[in-house]
Structure 1
Amino acid sequence: MITFLKKYKGFIYGLLIHRIMVFVLSYFDFIHIDNSEVLANTLSFIFSWLLISLPIHYFSFLKQHKTISIKLVALMVLFLVIIINDLNSKIVDNPLTFVGLVGVGLSFFSIIAPSYFKKYALVIIGFYVLALGYFVYIRVYIDDLASYLQQEKEIKIIITSPFLVLFLSWLYQQWKWVKTVESKKSKAELALLKSQINPHFFFNTLNNLYGLTVEKSDDAPDVVLKLSDMMRYTIYMGKEDFVSLKDEIEYLKNYIELHKIRYHKTVDITFNHSNELNYQIAPLLFIIPLENAFKHGVERLTEDAYIHINLKTDDGMIHFNIENNFGQMEANQNTGIGLNNLKQRLKLLYPNKHDIQIEVKANIYKFSLKIETA
């Protein structure tokens, strides 16, 4: 909504200018507004507001397209001539004024939104041929003012309502276009972020496998099998918008087992999870903080290293917490691109439905993530 308002702020500026102009002109008695004429006042407001707002909205465009600017200036001059002629003629609902204003309005819209107007041109022109024909018949051919005044409001509504419908429909089309652009942008950003996450993880895992093969460890085949499962999950399931929380937990468990195999030291690693049920989650959200816990904690410490992981669900909420210790030299280092990518993905996937808390104290790192899935 904020993006939409920013894009069409010209109409807000036009409204402010319009109200100031009306106040000044009324104050100096240049115009008089009859509050009993609700319909006429409403139609005058809409028409004059759009006349002021549209040039503001398209100002940058008009500077680059002189031909269109000249056409609009010519229409404004014609509009002023029509109004002045109407004031001087002193004819009630001057037919020339009505026909002229409709012509100016349609021409104006065809200039500022040519493709949109062209789409409905036959319907609009056909409607106005009939509507203005009926108006001229009642106002001129019959030439009975009393009879006309009985139908005056209905005729004015018939003549002016298509402009309002056309304008609102055009705004709706513009709003849909903005939302489509935002959606495509979000999907492109998500695809980019995923492509950054996956190589980072696999490079680390392949390095682990390399170390085991150099040592000719009997655990190497098991590592290859687990890595194969994880690659299959990342490549195929990582493309999905949502995956089962149980599958994501299994993915994390395989990752933890891969690390346990390669360590020749005692490491306190616990992973508690409960109440997974049938929860769905965006894939590959939890692997980044888990990677960081190993990279900046276990791999740097020679003893007493630990990682405690807890995952639970509660009434549509997923709570994921990691606590690990780290060496003094890691205290002032950041976690790199991985955590930044995670934050960006969460903003795109769960706007206003997630919360990240990070606490670093006395060589203890605590990461907490809450996601609302409902």
Structure 2
Amino acid sequence: MKCPFAHPPLVLDPTGRARDAETAELIARGPVAPADVLGVRAWAVSDPDLLESLLKDPRIAKNAPQHWPDYQAVTAGWPLALWVAARNMSTTDAEHHRRLRRLVSGALTTRRVAAMTGRVEEMTAGLLDRIAAAGADGTPVDLRQQLARALPILVVSDLLGLPEELREDFGRYVEGVFDTTLTPERAQANNVALYTVIAALVAGKRERPGDDMTSLLISARDTEGDGGALTEDELLDTVMLVVAAGYETTVNLIDNTVALLLAHPDQLDLVRAGKADWDDAVEESLRLESPLAHLPMRYALADIELPGGVTVHQGEPVLASYAAAGRHPSRYGDGGAEFDVTREAKDHLAFGHGPHFCLGAPLARLEARTALRGLFERFPRLALVPGTELEPVESLISNGHRTLPVLLDGGEPGR
């Protein structure tokens, strides 16, 4: 599981507590640097221009079983085995990727997402009513749990036709997939539990299909051509991907943006004054605090010469380090680590780039924009609980907070 790197790798902290320091160190080490990902050596790419290039480079593949020599050894005991072993559009190449992506893309077109606006606004309003009731007497409210987490699971449930009795389990087990402090045994147990819930969803939809993505995928599996348009494993793994990508990343996006605005009231004032809008706040949050700090893995199909005299040899894994790319001075100057909703350079890689660009990006943006606007209009004096030090989720992949405690009427007048 070790590659012949010339220099010691930066060991990524599985608890997420060293995120800012790691980001700065990766940038300081150059465009690409060796990193240790829970015992697996990989090339971490931090320079946004180089990362963009590699994310669409045909010499960089996603199919681990075919292109990673250490695949068998890694999946036998690596806590992140599911990230490379699942068979969905995120872990396949070329025609298989196009085939699987096409099955999902129809449900996430710009027009379909726009048509969901009213439903997302309705969900948000209901959650804000609950939040108002929970914090009416000055009791702190955990916005990660009651808004940032609650809204995406409702939206994903609508998208997949997920019944209410399965939602909490889905959310909990998906969070476990991102928890990089789990032992291999606990990670495997979490994966088994997640797929048990997915299998229950699929079985229920086979008996009672509806107007949802799960039913559409089942139909493609069971009726299209000889053996269907996808295998049973691909069906289950695609449902898992839709849940994971549509849930955890959006949770972190809402969580991070609320936290940034509350920690920088001057930036919130700019939005309220019309000098920036909620979309600006969302994009700046995505850049500065990418919901996924790192995304494993891709693999070199040939020896690739990179800047700084680095050669990524055939079969070596490549890690997309989105957190560092979002702050890199080569693109954002010396102020890359600052939160500025009026920033002119709004481009970022938080949703990826190239063929694997996140299909759910428009939906995530819709949820975040709707949640922010509703939250700050409903509670103009919203404030973090005084003295609160926000703790990161325990993950080197997921970038968010364990809790986001606020007071609904705790800020200065007009805030």
TM-score (norm: length of structure 1): 0.23
- Computing the radius of gyration over CA atoms, which structure comes out larger, 1 or 2? 1
The structure richer in helix per residue is 1
